[in-house]
Chains A and B, each alone.
Chain A
Amino acid sequence: MRWDGESRLNGLLVLAAVIPVWELASRAALVNPLFFPPMSKILKSFFLLVLSGDLPYQILLSLKRAAAGYLLAALVFIPLGIAMGLFDWVHRSLELIIELARPIPPPAMVPVAMLFFGLGDGMKIFVIFFSCAWPILLNTYDGVRNIDRVLIYTAGTFGLSRARSVVKIIVPAASPQIMTGLRVSLAIMLILVVISEMVGSTDGIGHFILDSQRRFKVDQMYAGMISLAVVGYALNQLFLLFYSWLLAWHKGLTRKQR
């Protein structure tokens, strides 16, 4: 969705207007102050928690687990997706197993993970690993399958062995699609770390938000949610940066095709 100048200004004004409106409505008890503490109080909590290090600590815990699961999934399922794309027998062998495992809603794996790993980091890493698998695997597979035949023939005519053509041609050619899988999985990663922390954890940002609600520290709850939105946004931007650096050639290509 594009931002043009005027639209951006209008939108930001609306967004900015929320703050005073919320503040007034809360203080004047137009809305239940229990449910909607004054915005000033929320922001105050937010900054206190950030500066005291409490919130960043919880976020770091969550990100640590999330990153571990995500990277593990990438490390396992990108090569597997490539193998499935190159060797039809690998695809056929795994197809049924994948089709059976895929419909399992990721939260349903949380109790399984708790069974195996208790309430520690391992549990969350397992859940994220399982959930991020499918977008990464299937997008990688698609990316490899969609490589133009001429490119494969080019590898052949230059006498490239299978291994060398995978490194030099298959992976680069499939990389835009692989990145798509990684991007989708990034969102899933964040969702699942929050879910697993809400269901079975004693720390992490997910637990923090839920716990704040249970203790009726509502301003802290909102502060937690704000920080989560900030983290989500930051991760997205980081990913875009990474994508632009790695796939600069692709951006130009698709821009031309438009």
Chain B
Amino acid sequence: MRLLDVEGLSKSYRQVGGESTLALDEISFQVDEKEFSSIVGPSGCGKSTLLMCIAGLIPPTSGTVKVKGIKVNGPPQNLVLVFQEYNKSLFAWRSVLGNVLFGLEAKRQLSSDAQERARHLLHLVGLEGFERHYPWELSGGMQQRVAIARALAYEPEVLLMDEPFGSVDALTRLELEDALLRLWKELKTTILFVTHDIDEAIYLSDRICLLSRRPSRVVQRIDVHLGRPRHQLATRADPKFVELRNEIYKQISDEAGK
């Protein structure tokens, strides 16, 4: 079933001088239920803008976004966006546990076992023991995990993630990738993941949507037929992985050459 349907999405901005710049150019793609989809593109190509439009936080200039067939007019009730700037998105006045509980509060699901569920989510992201800490006491990677746990507490049907592992060191990133895959498998959410890291996209996804530079259009839709579960070493050494990567790199350099 088509969970997410983006059709002809365009976004332009009016500049100070009066002219407008086109950031997104008629973007169209679909995401199926329980799928892990990635959007890959060079830095600054407007991936964040695209996610914000899909999340209903900013209005597109033209085109539509449909979640479960219903047109998006504001933040949809069954969708959550995890922001790139986690340090600005997390609530400094709440503890780690408090932040995760917020996800439950937002859905008005503060039952007696709320604390238990929040703790369980923290356990899933590997942060047990840090419940009473404040976000600023944690490292960047840990903060991002809190943000992810908070989003998952909301139990969204669609989870949008804006370069969540962008400012995390390489080793932590691999850990987080696997943790995310475990979470995805257990919670059976649909994930739309934005990244500029091609390897990461291939490793994580079922399908990849490749965007060009600004003004962004969809260059190609690629299916990733690598088996699951994925393994950091085995999957990345798989010849199909290398093939996919080469194909994508070729697409990118073709685009750059234009």
Contacts and interface: CB of A to CB of B under 8 A. Distances in A.
Interface string B77-113: 1011101010011011110000000110111000000
Contact of B75 (A157, A173, A249): A157
Interface size class of B (residues with CB under 8 A): 20 to 34
A156 B57 contact: yes
B60 to A, nearest CB: 16
Contacts of A168: 102, 105
B103 A158 contact: yes
Contacts of A249: 92-94, 134
A148 interface: yes
B92 A250 contact: yes
B88 A252 contact: no
B80 A158 contact: yes
Nearest to A152: B57
A17 B57 CA distance: 66
Contact of B85 (A150, A158, A159): A150
B52 interface: yes
Interface in A137-165: 148, 150-151, 153-154, 156-160
Interface string A231-258: 0000000000000000101101100100
B91 A253 contact: no
Nearest to A155: B106
A33 interface: no
A250 B137 CA distance: 12
B103 A175 contact: no
A172 interface: yes
Given A159-B75, A159-B77, A172 B91 contact: yes
A32 to B, nearest CB: 57
A252 B137 contact: yes
Contacts of B75: 156-159
B57 A169 contact: no
Contact of B134 (A151, A157, A252): A252
Interface in B24-63: 52, 55-57
Contacts of B102: 158, 168
Nearest to A247: B93
B167 to A, nearest CB: 14
Contacts of A253: 92, 134, 136
Interface in A143-199: 148, 150-151, 153-154, 156-160, 168-169, 172-173, 175
B219 to A, nearest CB: 28
Given A158-B106, A252-B134, A153 B93 contact: no
- Looking at chain B's contact residues, is the secondary structure mostly helix, strand, loop, or mixed? loop
Contacts, number: 61
B93 A250 contact: yes
Nearest to A246: B93
A53 to B, nearest CB: 43
Nearest to B84: A150
Interface in B68-82: 74-75, 77, 79-81
B165 interface: no
A48 B72 CA distance: 75
A151 B85 CA distance: 10
B142 to A, nearest CB: 14
A250 B94 CA distance: 10
Interface in B129-171: 134, 136-137, 154
A221 B132 CA distance: 52
Given A151-B88, A249-B134, A253-B134, A157 B81 contact: yes
Q: Which of B56, B103, B106 has the most CB of A within 10 A?
A: B106
A250 to B, nearest CB: 7
A40 to B, nearest CB: 51
A130 to B, nearest CB: 31
Interface of A: 148, 150-151, 153-154, 156-160, 168-169, 172-173, 175, 247, 249-250, 252-253, 256
Given A157-B80, A168-B102, 8 more contacts: A150-B88, A154-B83, A156-B75, A157-B79, A158-B80, A172-B94, A175-B93, A250-B92
28 contacts: A148-B88, A150-B85, A150-B89, A151-B91, A153-B52, A153-B83, A154-B83, A154-B89, A156-B57, A156-B74, A157-B55, A158-B75, A158-B80, A158-B103, A159-B75, A160-B106, A168-B102, A168-B105, A172-B91, A172-B94, A175-B93, A247-B93, A249-B92, A249-B93, A250-B93, A252-B136, A252-B137, A253-B134
| 10 A-B pairs with least C-beta separation | A158-B106, A150-B88, A172-B93, A157-B81, A148-B88, A154-B89, A249-B93, A253-B136, A156-B75, A150-B89
